[in-house]
Structure 1
Amino acid sequence: MLHAWRSTSALTATGFRTANANERTPTLSFTLLVPARHEEEVLAHTLERLVEQDHPDVEIIAIVGHDDPGTEAVARSVADRFPDRVRVVVDDSVPKNKPKALNLALQTSRGEIVGVFDAEDEVHPQLLRLVDERFATTGADVVQGGVQLMNIETSWWSLRNVLEYYFWFRSRLHFHAEQRFIPLGGNTVFLRTDQVRDAGGWDAECLAEDCEIGVRLSSQGARVVVAYDPEVVTREETPGSLPSLYKQRTRWSQGFLQVLRKGEWKKLPGRSQRLMARYMLSMPFLQAGTGLLIPISLALVLFAKVPTPIALISFLPLVPTVIVLCVEVAGLGEFGRVYDRKVRIRDYVRLVLGTFPYQVFLALAAVRAVVRETRGERGWEKTEHAGAHIDRSAGVPSLSAPSPAASSTDASPTATSDTTAPVTAGAARS
């Protein structure tokens, strides 16, 4: 959770090298895949921003369903305006899901690098130049860019969801990349096309296809580089309602259970890697167990009589919980400074008061994931998007100045814990 803040140089190293980004000549070609289903409200803006990429060799493939005429019409209208960069692929598979759409487009991708974006993404126009540079200088097989939810003001749970992404992409993924075991994010991820094809593409039956391909490539020894820079981070919104978030977290947790059962992680060469994989992929089981124990715990509090020493010992789990909460408070303050968002006193109050309800919520989603996986129910439950994170009037930020996060040294949390990491945060899935 705090890996990125262990030193000023470590924090700086987590970002892209934005200095002189426009002076280097790009050497790679890119194909950007944008699967979209019932995304009429946000797809056009995303495709238009991708067209604006300051890179000489980019093709954009919008993948739409044959039974979704509204989204197809939006995609084709953009393709008609930018025929040299945008084309449309129609997915007629039944039932539909994201990995099937990605595999379909992968068949005709022309770029040396294939990148994945979601239909509601707000993408910086110079991102591909920076990714190109990172591939060239590191020899990476995969580059994972940063993704950040933005709408902290929407609700008490959106505030916590935003912070999950912040710690996950800002720090946790960098730690996993160093350990050579990483569940990739669902978008702003760039992979060498030939390597993805050789690996068989994305797992069409997995509800966490991003996590699965990350684990599979890690087990094959792929080199993954992660970069999070607030200036060029891909911006997204939280799900629009609590039921929508509930379904999303269920899908992520169930996907992790599928990856655990598939067993590719057992091929990781290091014992510590395998232990880490087992811990992370088993987290939905642990959370589900927590959810089932909540009513039992409440009953014990009200009715059980236990010796005083045992009662005191039972309070020990509060210690890491309070430490993590302090780190989250510091993280919320830094998020506000980095992204120039006003964090109010009531936001801190919502963060503190929402700690227990949010953990209960995640536990209930994990219980539902375990039940669905046990029953073999693996239907894709889509997350709706309304574009609450998009500022359509905002100008394009410049890369000339150093990253605010890289220059900030007074807001770095100092405690260590990972107990609030997003359980399935291959994160940025939609």
Structure 2
Amino acid sequence: MTAVDPESPEFKAAALHAAVHGLRESDPLASAAVAFLPWQRAAFLALVLAVAVCAVLFPLVTGTVLVALCTLGYLAVLGDRVLIFTRGMARDAIMTVDDARARALPADELPPYTILVPAYGEPEVVGDLVAALESIEYPRDRMQVLLLLEEDDEPTIAAARAAGIGSGGAEHITIVLVPAADPRTKPKACNYGLRRATGDIVTIYDAEDIPDPLQLRRVVAAFRELPSTVVCVQAKLAFHNARQNLLTAWFTMDYGLWFGYLLPGLMRSSAPIPLGGTSNHFKRDVVTAIGAWDPYNVTEDADLGVRIAARGYATAVIDSTTLEEANPDPINWIRQRSRWYKGYLQSWLVHTRRPVRLWRQIGTVAFLRFTLFLAGTPIIACLNLVFWAMSLAWILGQPSVIEQLFPAAVYFPALVALVLGNAATIYMNLLACRENDRPDLLLACLTSPAYWLLMSIAATKGCWQLLRNPSYWEKTFHGLGTAEKNA
């Protein structure tokens, strides 16, 4: 068989077509290229119209029913989140491979590994990227690193060249220029790079990541010990600039709970795991067979995690940490978080296009949990603004209409959701920080309600953007953090 030149126009054209259209052509209903199917749009408009008509004809009853339904949603999300957290606290909830076992793997038995590093408009972090990749303890002849750069991103390309990539230094790192084409998203770049991948295992690192040097070896050991149905291993993510300001401390606290306890809890619950955007390690043949990443989905990681579960495969979480840069700027943070919330809803909409099929594939409990996580997380964050406004209005003026919206059957469950829900969330954050040995995050845990306000603003923005510009990838700017290597 004649080898195909990856630099040939024919290869590039085929790779770009597959990167942009592959999933949409192989399984149209699995692609977010169309945000809302006609029946989804019709159902949404019918629901809005029905609520509007009821609000005009029976305003008080309609308001009370809506408050009751929202309260029920709060309690369901709270109860499920606490249950998942308790499961994530178990010692065997997360896969552990110690340093000795990782280093004991003979070099000639390690499989070829491909690292995809998509970067766009990030010349300031390329130098640190090279240093981070050089620290990885894995045979260089078995480690392929593909730095995926947009072909018109001249500043980042120049920075990569200046760092020695492709010009004698860092010989195991290859610059891959992704042809300029819509959508300009990270998953499109990863799909394009996947066509050049030679490793049996493929992982993604963001340009500002500092991975655990033994992470690849730990993942290889984990795959050998885990069942063959496990096709993805998700590493933990944390931040190197947690102490930069209160926002970075909140963000670090948030990640500590999410990757340390909630994702392992989901793993123990056999539920779909919304993957992180980096440090997820895949068996390349499987991720290729199930369509790889959706270039139109702005949280391609969460979407792929659900698709893995729907195909009968599983994901494990490993105790290996990749350090990232926490957004220290509130506006930049909201841009990033609003994209995540939009993508969660986008993924939920995609996977509920065939709800009966998904229910049969993953089961009733996992289906409900998938809904509570992907749809419930952003929706609850939006509803917080409404209920906080109602609480503030009651405190300031005590309007009778608010009292009428909360009869006893609604008031007491709502009170439970308010008091126990907030207390349980703060307690879970405190417990996670204690178990993660992060006493420096105590203030962040105690002031986390202010962080929830930022979350609500981001969720509202994400929901609005889902309606107006669903596949728009809102760029997050990096290089704003101050590193704390010992954090």
TM-score past 0.5 threshold:
yes
The reply on whether 1:74 has 2:165 as its aligned counterpart is: no
Q: Deviations over 1:201-253 (max 9, x none)?
A: 21000010000111111100112111124xxx100121130001101111000
Equivalence map 1:304-343=2 (5 Å): 304=398, 306=403, 313=412, 315-316=415-416, 317-336=418-437, 343=440
In the alignment, which residue of structure 2 is the partner of 1:356?
A: 449
In the alignment, which residue of structure 2 is the partner of 1:148?
A: 238
Amino acid at match of 1:327: M
Within the candidate set 286, 301, 306, 1:195 is matched to 286
In the alignment, which residue of structure 1 is the partner of 2:187?
A: 99
Equivalence map 1:72-221=2 (5 Å): 72-76=157-161, 77-82=164-169, 84-95=171-182, 96-138=184-226, 139=228, 140-178=230-268, 179-221=270-312
In the alignment, which residue of structure 2 is the partner of 1:24?
A: 105
In the alignment, which residue of structure 1 is the partner of 2:75?
A: none
The reply on whether 1:54 has 2:143 as its aligned counterpart is: no
Structure 1 residues 225 and 334 mapped into 2: Cα distance closer, same or farther (>3 Å)?
closer
In the alignment, which residue of structure 2 is the partner of 1:246?
A: 334
Task: Please give the alpha-carbon distance, in whole angstroms, between the structure 1 residues aligned to 2:407 and 2:347.
Answer: 41
The reply on whether 1:35 has 2:125 as its aligned counterpart is: no
Task: Please give the alpha-carbon distance, in whole angstroms, between the structure 1 residues aligned to 2:484 and 2:242.
Answer: 15
How far is the alpha carbon of 1:51 from its aligned partner? 3.1
Structure 1 residues 276 and 330 mapped into 2: Cα distance closer, same or farther (>3 Å)?
closer
How far is the alpha carbon of 1:27 from its aligned partner? 2.9
Task: Please give the alpha-carbon distance, in whole angstroms, between the structure 2 residues aligned to 1:260 and 1:90.
Answer: 32
Amino acid at match of 1:215: V
In the alignment, which residue of structure 2 is the partner of 1:291?
A: 385
Task: Please give the alpha-carbon distance, in whole angstroms, between the structure 2 residues aligned to 1:157 and 1:38.
Answer: 24
Q: Deviations over 1:160-218 (max 9, x none)?
A: 11011111111111122231411111111111111121122210000100001111111
The reply on whether 1:260 has 2:345 as its aligned counterpart is: no
Percent same amino acid among aligned pairs?
A: 24
Task: Please give the alpha-carbon distance, in whole angstroms, between the structure 2 residues aligned to 1:261 and 1:186.
Answer: 19
Q: Secondary structure at the match of 1:153?
A: coil
How far is the alpha carbon of 1:18 from its aligned partner? 3.1
Give the structure with higher Rg (CA): 2
Q: TM-score, normalised by structure 2?
A: 0.72
The reply on whether 1:300 has 2:394 as its aligned counterpart is: yes
Gaps of 5+ in 2: 1-83
How far is the alpha carbon of 1:61 from its aligned partner? 0.3
How far is the alpha carbon of 1:387 from its aligned partner? 6.5
In the alignment, which residue of structure 2 is the partner of 1:271?
A: 364
Count of equivalent residues: 380
Amino acid at match of 2:317: V
C-alpha RMSD over aligned residues: 2.5
Gaps of 5+ in 1: 395-430
Task: Please give the alpha-carbon distance, in whole angstroms, between the structure 2 residues aligned to 1:146 and 1:349.
Answer: 23
How far is the alpha carbon of 1:318 from its aligned partner? 1.3
Amino acid at match of 1:191: F
Task: Please give the alpha-carbon distance, in whole angstroms, between the structure 2 residues aligned to 1:351 and 1:155.
Answer: 14
Greater displacement, 248-257 / 316-325: 316-325
Task: Please give the alpha-carbon distance, in whole angstroms, between the structure 2 residues aligned to 1:90 and 1:5.
Answer: 41
In the alignment, which residue of structure 2 is the partner of 1:408?
A: none
Q: TM-score, normalised by structure 1?
A: 0.81
The reply on whether 1:10 has 2:92 as its aligned counterpart is: yes
Which is helix-richer, 1 or 2? 2
In the alignment, which residue of structure 2 is the partner of 1:413?
A: none
Structure 1 residues 391 and 375 mapped into 2: Cα distance closer, same or farther (>3 Å)?
closer
Contact 1:161 1:238 in 2 (8 A): yes
Task: Please give the alpha-carbon distance, in whole angstroms, between the structure 1 residues aligned to 2:168 and 2:419.
Answer: 57
